[in-house]
């Protein structure tokens, strides 16, 4: 090995040392930070991380403890993230999507960050690539932009008369603009007109999920039903609230699988070397009670493909 190669290898090892030093130590109680929302979207999702860690033989109170901070509004994320970073954690996990991860990245470049959900981690600049994230962030992606077109196709199948579709979305949430554009591309293929946010005069409604819209699911569904707007969204919380159709990744499964990244990091892996994983379980949910209230008949072919029919 020549001098230049030796110095390069030495520099690389020194840069990696702070993260590599987190390799699992016998008898140590690790500290896992969690940045979340005080109003959890559902018990199944809230419990998923703990169950996932148990899959890897991590037992709360025995070989790890949770350190939690919560914030429901975007403006509260930076303070909650800073408070977590100050607690000398071994790894931090968040299910608040891109805004939560960005708040944590601004607070630390040293502590590993595991995202339980991210709509478009590459497009939003959180990671360099899915295969090699680089930096201190890794975790799970929900393929939101790619699924947007499929969701509109399902809505058209359930409500063939819908020619004007409104898209309700949080414009302050990074990556949602990409989902809107993908929905518009699918709309042109299906000969459907898409209106962003403008609901009045529409035949159906697509609601894109983020922490804000999920927390407002009951109100959004109530509005859609009162205005006789068939609605499709991407997470189970909207189906439980009464949305006509829901299609997207199973969040509980995604959150549970994120524990695998935590496990590998606590055992010494560098987050930048761990590929961002994508969903393997998608669920199609149809609410027949809502269909009846709207005077709709769901095609049998669509009902047969549903993972769950709510009656």
For residue range 172-221, list pLDDT tens digits in order.
776 777 778 878 888 888 888 887 764 556 889 999 888 778 888 899 99
Percent residues over pLDDT 90 in the chain: 55
pLDDT score of 15 more than 50: no
Q: What pairs with residue 249 in β-bridges?
A: 282
CATH number of 144-249+283-310: 3.40.50.2300
295, exposed or middle or buried, with CB in 10 Å at 0-12, 13-18, 19+? exposed
Surface-to-core class of residue 32, CB atoms within 10 Å of its CB (0-12 exposed, 13-18 middle, 19+ buried): buried
For residue range 114-160, what is the model confidence (pLDDT) as tens digits? 999 998 899 889 999 999 999 999 999 987 767 888 888 999 999 99
Residues of the chain with CATH 3.40.50.2300: 3-142+251-280, 144-249+283-310
Dist CA 107 CA 120 (whole Å): 21
d(CA 97, CA 120): 9
- Write out pLDDT tens, residues 68-104: 999 877 889 999 999 999 999 999 999 988 899 999 9
Superfamily holding 3-142+251-280: Response regulator (3.40.50.2300)
* CA dist., res. 127 & res. 142, Å (int): 14
Query: What average pLDDT score do residues 288-309 get?
Result: 94
Per-residue pLDDT, 215: 80
| Confidence grade of residue 13 (pLDDT, cut at 50, 70, 90) | very low
């Amino acid at each position: 090995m020549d001098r230049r190669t030796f110095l390069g290898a030495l520099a690389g090892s020194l840069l990696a040392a702070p993260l590599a030093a987190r390799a699992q130590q016998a008898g140590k109680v690790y500290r896992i930070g969690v940045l979340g929302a005080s109003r959890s979207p559902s018990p199944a999702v809230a419990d998923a991380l703990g169950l996932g860690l148990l899959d890897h033989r991590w037992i709360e109170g025995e070989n790890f403890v949770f350190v939690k901070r919560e914030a429901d509004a975007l403006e509260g994320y930076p303070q909650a993230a800073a408070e977590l970073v100050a607690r000398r954690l071994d790894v931090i996990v968040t299910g608040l999507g891109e805004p939560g991860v960005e708040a944590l990245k601004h607070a630390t470049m040293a502590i590993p960050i595991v995202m339980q959900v991210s709509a478009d981690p590459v497009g939003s600049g959180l990671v360099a690539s899915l295969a090699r994230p680089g930096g201190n962030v890794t975790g799970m992606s929900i393929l939101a932009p790619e699924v947007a077109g499929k969701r509109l196709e399902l809505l058209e199948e359930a409500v063939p008369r819908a020619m004007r579709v409104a898209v309700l979305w949080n414009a302050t949430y990074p990556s949602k603009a990409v989902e809107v554009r993908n929905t518009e591309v699918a709309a042109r293929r299906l000969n459907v007109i898409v209106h962003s946010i403008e609901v009045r005069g529409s035949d159906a409604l697509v609601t894109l999920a983020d922490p804000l819209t999920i927390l407002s699911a009951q109100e959004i569904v109530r509005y859609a039903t009162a205005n006789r707007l068939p609605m499709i969204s991407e997470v189970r919380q909207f189906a439980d609230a009464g949305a006509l159709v829901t299609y997207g990744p199973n969040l509980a499964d995604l959150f549970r699988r994120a524990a695998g990244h935590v496990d590998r990091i606590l055992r010494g892996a560098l987050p930048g070397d761990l590929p961002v994983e994508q969903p393997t379980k998608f669920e199609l949910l149809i609410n027949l009670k809502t269909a009846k209230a709207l005077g709709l008949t769901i095609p049998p072919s669509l009902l047969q493909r549903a993972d769950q029919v709510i009656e």
